[in-house]
Amino acid sequence: MKAQLAILSAIALLVALSPGARAADLTVSVRTAAGKPVADAVIMVYPQAGGAPRPSGTYRMTQHHMMFDPFVMVAPVGAEVSFPNLDTVRHHVYSFSPTKPFELKLYAKGEAPSVKMDKAGIVALGCNIHDAMVAFIRVVDTAYAAKTDAQGKATIHDLPGGVASLRVWHPYSKAKAGETARAINLARDGAAAEGFTLELRAAPEMKHY
Ligand SMILES: [Cu+2]
């Protein structure tokens, strides 16, 4: 009898502690007050249950037609980001951001120097030669991050259930440090949705974070 009880309470404990065999999907939509979809907003979820990012795949910030592509990149801490130059002109990529100050001195087409993003934060990019070239790398310390598409939407899959902090960052958001946050409580499975309204400033001249 005692053994049976022990087994039963062990099972109850396991069920209570289980992060859930299934997980939640969260879709976040971001709009301006006027209802316009906001692309390139970075959605970050920090579940109380944790989850650290692992760099995988390739992270490429190309220079093409005198522009950076993508405009906003989400990269996990530890990611090695390459900066391939696809233009016939030379570029000189730099960042003054405290998250990762660096400089890639003038380099030509076909070259692709890389930089390791070793801490979380914002890395604003510029080109010494072409002032109009601007882009951002948001280095994240959560496994659950994505950026919104042209419809202003991003879906983050396989989130553990429970309490989490949901953060939204956009390079031109008027919020403090460009970031808005709220606490959410995710069901153990199924789909959840959240919406944010951001006030954006007009794409400014190069701003150094
Ligand atoms: Cu350039």
Is 9 among the domain residues?
Answer: no
Task: Tell me the pTM.
Answer: 0.86
Residue 100, domain CATH: 2.60.40.420
Distance 85 CA to ligand 1 centre (A): 9
Q: Could you tell me the pLDDT band of residue 206, with boundaries at 50, 70 and 90?
A: very low
Give the helix ranges, DSSP H, for the chain: 2-17
Least confident of 8-22, 73-87, 143-157: 8-22
Distance 202 CA to ligand 1 centre (A): 22
Distance CA 105, CA 91 (A): 8
Q: Are strands 72-76 and 67-69 parallel, antiparallel or unpaired?
A: unpaired
Distance 97 CA to ligand 1 centre (A): 18
In one-letter notation, the amino acid at residue 32 is: T
Same domain (yes/no): 161, 183: yes
Identify whether the C-beta of residue 41 lies closer than 8 Å to the C-beta of residue 181.
no
Same domain (yes/no): 136, 66: yes
Q: State the pLDDT at residue 7.
A: 53
Same domain (yes/no): 61, 100: yes
Average the pLDDT over 160-164 and give the result.
91
Average the pLDDT over 199-209 and give the result.
66
Is 87 among the domain residues?
Answer: yes
Edge-to-edge strands, sheet with 162-169: 144-147, 42-47, 162-169, 179-186
Phi, psi of 2 (to 5 degrees): -60, -45
Distance 74 CA to ligand 1 centre (A): 21
Query: What are 61-114's pLDDT values in tens digits?
Result: 999 999 999 999 999 999 999 999 999 999 999 999 999 999 999 999 999 999
Q: Which residue has the higher pLDDT, 4 or 114?
A: 114
Distance 127 CA to ligand 1 centre (A): 5
Distance 83 CA to ligand 1 centre (A): 11
Q: State the pLDDT at residue 57.
A: 81
Distance 135 CA to ligand 1 centre (A): 12
Q: How far apart are the first and last CA of the chain?
A: 65
Domain containing residue 38:
31-52+154-203
Distance 168 CA to ligand 1 centre (A): 29
Q: Indicate the average pLDDT of the chain.
A: 89
Q: State the pLDDT at residue 53.
A: 77
Average the pLDDT over 168-197 and give the result.
94
Q: Could you tell me the pLDDT band of residue 203, with boundaries at 50, 70 and 90?
A: confident
In a 3-state reduction of DSSP, which class is residue 113?
Answer: coil
Same domain (yes/no): 71, 133: yes
Domain count, the chain: 2
